[in-house]
A and B are shown apart, each in its own frame.
Chain A
Amino acid sequence: GENVEQHPSTLSVQEGDSAVIKCTYSDSASNYFPWYKQELGKGPQLIIDIRSNVGEKKDQRIAVTLNKTAKHFSLHITETQPEDSAVYFCAASKGGSQGNLIFGKGTKLSVKP
């Protein structure tokens, strides 16, 4: 089945710097790649997603890139702010009748003021 690897497990940056989190997936049939942000004591919340027919997607300070050939995708956060501190999860799905998500193990991002 699908396996999603996520790196790094922890990431510390200074406010204003950029942060990059990388994920690789194993199943070439996967076609949907969402990123979730989880704040302490809360459920994961979708922040951006990308489908396999697109190479890059941007939403203000957040961008995601996808390399289907290499089977990896990345989350880029620019001009980081303390409120970006959270755990970020990548996931992959093959869609279809279930569309089950397989998650990476998460990255704890700390943004130091």
Chain B
Amino acid sequence: NAGVTQTPKFQVLKTGQSMTLQCAQDMNHEYMSWYRQDPGMGLRLIHYSVGAGITDQGEVPNGYNVSRSTTEDFPLRLLSAAPSQTSVYFCASKVAGAVDTQYFGPGTRLTVL
């Protein structure tokens, strides 16, 4: 199993540009989530999904969109990037409805100029 994979590893955008961060998992996990990590702030939940067709907002959803058309994929979209979205983004997955291990991807480092 590849586990949770994320692409790209690094990305530089200009203010106002759009892009999609990709996340995929091959563990058949229903639950997937996106976090952002900023220095001294820990990991903060952006959006999450408990299954295909179901998404919900986390702690810091503004400026981000998500969709979940398949169990495997959970892309994160930035429609109009802002410097405040400079961060490291992590995708994670686990079995839904269970108190269980959440597996993280390797992260995408995004810089918005």
Contacts and interface: CB of A to CB of B under 8 A. Distances in A.
A48 to B, nearest CB: 11
A101 interface: yes
A109 to B, nearest CB: 15
Q: How large is the interface on B (under 10, 10 to 19, 20 to 34, 35 or more residues)?
A: 20 to 34
A69 interface: no
A95 interface: yes
Nearest to B94: A99
Nearest to A4: B42
Interface in A53-112: 89, 93, 95-106
B48 interface: yes
Contacts of B50: 97-98
Contacts of B45: 100-102
A89 B43 contact: yes
Interface stretch (B13-21, B74-82, B96-104): B96-104
Contacts, number: 66
A95 B31 CA distance: 12
A101 B100 CA distance: 11
Contacts of B107: 41-43
29 contacts: A34-B101, A36-B104, A42-B106, A42-B107, A43-B4, A43-B90, A43-B104, A43-B106, A43-B107, A44-B43, A44-B90, A45-B104, A46-B102, A95-B98, A97-B50, A98-B56, A99-B98, A99-B99, A100-B33, A100-B45, A100-B48, A100-B58, A101-B43, A101-B102, A102-B45, A103-B42, A103-B43, A103-B44, A105-B42
